[in-house]
Structure 1
Amino acid sequence: MNRRLFLQQSSLLVPGLAVAGLFGSNPRRLFADTSTVQAFSLSIVTDQSDKALPMIQDLLAKMKLNGKNIRYSEYTLHGNHVADIAYTQNGQLIDYRVTDGPLANGLRKIAGNLDLPRDCKNPVLSHFSCEEGFMKPTGVRIFKGDELLMEKPFTKENEVFELAGLKGKVTVEMAKDRSVRFVETSCRHKTCMKMGAIKQAGQNLVCIPNQITVAIAGSSISGVDSITF
């Protein structure tokens, strides 16, 4: 598929989303009702990206997720990885396989068409996100599934800490340049480590096997602290 054409079409069909900050709400209800969606992050690892991208584009357009800005990026992950879909919404990592609603149904259909999850070699990571209205990174919020584990502000020193995930441990580094990355993880393919560091408010990293999400919070123009996914 022509990537430039895809990006042009996506910018017209799905301009983007902005954060609602609905921490503690029912993720199943939020996912089922797309009218409440104001920010999201959707990542798909697959060796069939040319097949996956038009399906995702069509799904997002059908959901009428209106807003102001959406970002798209993709790059190859070298080696063996688990092909799968990761979706975060309003601060929560959501399992579309057990959630109701048209968006979850659409993601399940895409996963079925791509035979996900499964092992694959040298797949492409495609990432869609909204980072609307946020400026200076202020700290990180860390989730295990839909549970907020901690909030930590950035400091003038590097900080490294370990977290217990679903299947093992992960180690996170918060750098003094206000970047965050996974520096160690017990998961087999280390995909989250290979994604490198994030530095902008609204960006996030996900270790799917351990169900750990690390997201950068930021201050908006209005001065209200919030976060996007």
Structure 2
Amino acid sequence: MTDAITTRPLAVVTGASSGIGEATARRLAQEGFEVICAARRTERIEQLAREIDGRAVTCDVSSEEDVARLAQEVGDRLDVLVNNAGGALGTERIADAVVDKWRAMYDSNVIGALQVTKALLPALTQVKGGMVVIVSSIAGLGVYEGGAGYCAAKHAETVIAETLRLEAVEDGIRVCEIDPGLVHTEEFSLVRLGGDQAAADKVYEGVAEPLVAADVADAIAYVATRPSHVNIDRLVIKPQAQAAPHKLVRQG
């Protein structure tokens, strides 16, 4: 008598080279998933894949060719897709808006999530309770000065999540939107502020305990491991010190 061959559930995490994406890949691997780590920085995701016994696919989510290659690597069956790639660029007010930054944010956050989701939906229909997780932000639920470009992109991701939930429910696909507040990661604010480390440090200055990437990864792992009949539409996660995007308690 031979032992039955068991297949690990399969997850794809975009933007897996750092921050929330990397933490999510590690967390899902701990939960027993085989994780395909997708991001532009090949060396980083290859190292991550080795560490978690996963696979690495170099992928710019705004590139149709890259996304097609990702879909080919996934094959005909997928349990969980985590659309995490994206980010923010700049804090200019609308009067001073840099159009190229808006366009880049829309491409990485919105077009990227659209292309990856569209390409992988057929594979998600092949499992019971296949799930799409869209990592958006509380910026997708409100607005603040200097954040119009990022808020617009994240509002669009919210629309994708809400619309897909309506369109895919008959195919048995679950859709969850994760909306983090202030998360202290190595790169998010640094990239947003053009590499100005001092300015990036000020974003978190005086906040005793901002979220870290592992906190958001825990939330993603939680929704992804619910029974197949359970769908969590939206999970908003903020540090205790943050009541709203504009209401943040700072010490000192």
More strand by share: 1
TM-score bucket of the superposed structures, by smaller chain: under 0.3
| TM-score where L is the length of structure 2 | 0.25
More helix by share: 2
| TM-score where L is the length of structure 1 | 0.27
Larger relative CO (CA 8 A, sep 6+): 1 or 2?
1
Larger Rg: 2
